[in-house]
Amino acid sequence: MRFILLGPPGSGKGTQAQRLVQKYGIVQLSTGEMLRAAVAAGTPVGLQAKDIMAAGGLVPDEIVIDIISDRIDQPDARKGFILDGFPRTVPQAEALDELLKKKRLKLDAVIELRVNESALLDRVEKRAAETRARGEEVRADDTPEVLTKRLASYRAQTEPLIHYYSERRKLLTVDGMMAIEHVTGEINRILEAIGATEPKAARRASPAKRSAAGIARKGTKAPAKKGAAKGGGKGTKKAASSARKTRKTVSKAAKARRVGKAKKAVRQAAKRPAKKLTKKRAKR
């Protein structure tokens, strides 16, 4: 499983990545964390990145692309990874496409966490206060002034990726204003719905077998989702209402993909009984 978490500073990329790596046994690849480690270690990359990060700008594309390319090759990334904070510019996204192609790896999805800008400052201030309370060093960029600059960088350089991945039918949007566990639940539902969480054996099985096993095909509604909406599974009305609300946030691109595939399935299904009837009639 390989996917990107896209969203402005404080949208919850790191929080969600940490919850998901545990569930799926994959790794979190956070360029922000890697760069902070490089700054702390005083490496040449760290020395180059330090002032840029502290000012809320973006580190040059070549640097982060090299870091990610090397990191993806590490043995622990073989089972899959979550890209947290990468790509952040269109050239980074193009470079990622290229390197995944070279390594013969597939990107399952890009999950955008959408959060109101007014909530971002509260979150970043809260994180800084909690870090301070633990006696740890607060991130140099976790101040209201630098957050404003990070947001400006996001709008100018990263937001175009929403269009980039939407055009490539990879984008799925989640309401990041929900409580942390509900955001995780929605991401899990999306990953199931697109088939990213299927066991390998089921992935190799024929569509008929997959359907018999109750596994949703990529782009179709997952059975679990249907159950939740009807009050099945976890069973509570709250869960059903939450499922209904969060489903609405799935991007238009994903909906179009589902509708396209569903229409194709309906067309194919419509052809099958017609053939059988003709044969039966012919026998009679």
Tell me which residues touch ligand AP5 (CB under 6 A): 7, 9-15, 30-32, 35, 52-53, 56-59, 64, 85-86, 88, 92, 123, 126-127, 141, 150, 176, 179-180, 183
Residue number, 1 or 53, with CB nearest to ligand AP5: 53
The answer to whether the beta carbons of residues 224 and 194 sit under 8 Å apart is no
Helix, strand, coil % (nearest 5) of the chain?
65, 10, 30
Residue number, 42 or 214, with CB nearest to ligand AP5: 42
Q: Which of 114, 123, 127, 221 is labelled catalytic?
A: 127
Which of Mg ion, ligand AP5, none binds 184 (CB below 5-8 Å, type-dependent)?
Answer: none
Residue number, 118 or 206, with CB nearest to ligand AP5: 118
Strand partners, 2: 81
- How far apart CA 182 and CA 100 sit, in angstroms, is 30
Shortest reach from residue 161's CB to Mg ion, in Å: 16
Q: Which of 7, 14, 87, 176 binds Mg ion (CB under 5 A)?
A: 14
Which of ligand AP5, Mg ion, none binds 86 (CB below 5-8 Å, type-dependent)?
Answer: ligand AP5
Whether 88 is catalytic is yes
Helix (H) or strand (E) holding 113: strand 109-114
Q: Which two tokens stand for residue 90?
A: 């269109």
Q: How far is CA 163 from CA 90, 143, 148, 152, 160, in A?
A: 10, 29, 23, 18, 6
Coil, strand or helix at 110? strand
- How far apart CA 191 and CA 80 sit, in angstroms, is 13
Q: How far is CA 182 from CA 158, 160, 202, in A?
A: 25, 27, 27
Whether 200 is catalytic is no
Q: Which two tokens stand for residue 11?
A: 């949208």
Shortest reach from residue 13's CB to Mg ion, in Å: 5
Shortest reach from residue 31's CB to ligand AP5, in Å: 3
Residue number, 61 or 169, with CB nearest to ligand AP5: 61
Shortest reach from residue 112's CB to ligand AP5, in Å: 11
- Binding-site size for Mg ion (CB under 5 A) equals 1
Q: Which of 150, 170, 189, 217 is labelled catalytic?
A: 150
The answer to whether the beta carbons of residues 147 and 56 sit under 8 Å apart is yes
Which of ligand AP5, Mg ion, none binds 52 (CB below 5-8 Å, type-dependent)?
Answer: ligand AP5
Q: Which of 2, 50, 71, 88 is labelled catalytic?
A: 88
Shortest reach from residue 130's CB to Mg ion, in Å: 14
Strand partners, 175: 114
The answer to whether the beta carbons of residues 46 and 63 sit under 8 Å apart is no
Residue number, 32 or 219, with CB nearest to Mg ion: 32
Q: Report angle CA 19, 22, 24 to the nearest 5 degrees.
A: 105
- How far apart CA 101 and CA 69 sit, in angstroms, is 12
Which of Mg ion, ligand AP5, none binds 7 (CB below 5-8 Å, type-dependent)?
Answer: ligand AP5
Would you mind telling me the total number of residues written for the chain in this entry? 284
Whether 150 is catalytic is yes
Q: Which of 19, 139, 169, 221 is labelled catalytic?
A: 139
- Residues in touch with Mg ion (CB under 5 A): 14
Q: Show which residues are catalytic.
A: 13, 88, 127, 139, 150
